[in-house]
A = this chain, B = another copy of it.
Amino acid sequence: MMPFRLSTRGHYAVLVMYELAKAGGSYSSLQDISAYWSLSQGYLEQIVRPLREAGLVEGKRGFGGGYTLAKDASEITVGEIVRTVEGPVVPVQCVADDLHPERCPDDCRAKAVWQKVGQAIDHVLDSITLADLIREDFPSTPTSKGDRSRD
């Protein structure tokens, strides 16, 4: 039930990055963020780890430490965040690897549907930056980079 669902990993990752973007240059601890959103701190730690390894956030240990964005909020898209913690957007497995190597390519045109869906999802995710998210008027008046010709 409920197709094309995003797991909590991607969901929470965007939430954390959104909070870091709001905090500007200062460091925010996962303890604060997890308490605010009533989430498990340990779970958030697991989720933030790949974001750090991908160079999207910087961690600072010890008292007064926490996380902060490693790049400007306008240079981090929601798509980067989601794909970093969840992997590529591939709605149906057969698009990546061929489940039925003989028949699939010639026979099954449905494959093109799933490819289109994946591209549409990526397009939306890549068109929204963290800077967009923290804009007062989002989503009513999008501005900066990204293609929003079809909004």
Interface residues of A (CB under 8 A from B): 1-7, 10-11, 14-15, 18, 36-38, 78, 82-83, 86-94, 100, 103, 108-110, 112-114, 116-118, 120-121, 123-125, 128, 133-134, 138-139
Contact = CB atoms under 8 A, between A and B. Distances in A.
Most chain B Cβ neighbours within 10 Å, of A15, A116, A138: A116
Nearest to A38: B100
Number of copies: 2
B4 A4 contact: yes
A70 B93 CA distance: 29
Nearest to A140: B112
Contact of A3 (B86, B93, B100, B113): B86
Contact of A109 (B5, B110, B139): B139
Contacts of A37: 100, 103
Contact of A5 (B4, B116, B125): B4
A6 B124 CA distance: 18
A64 to B, nearest CB: 25
Contact of A1 (B38, B87, B117): B87
A46 B86 CA distance: 30
A34 B124 CA distance: 36
Given A15-B108, A112-B139, 9 more contacts: A2-B88, A2-B90, A3-B7, A4-B5, A4-B91, A5-B90, A109-B134, A109-B139, A121-B121
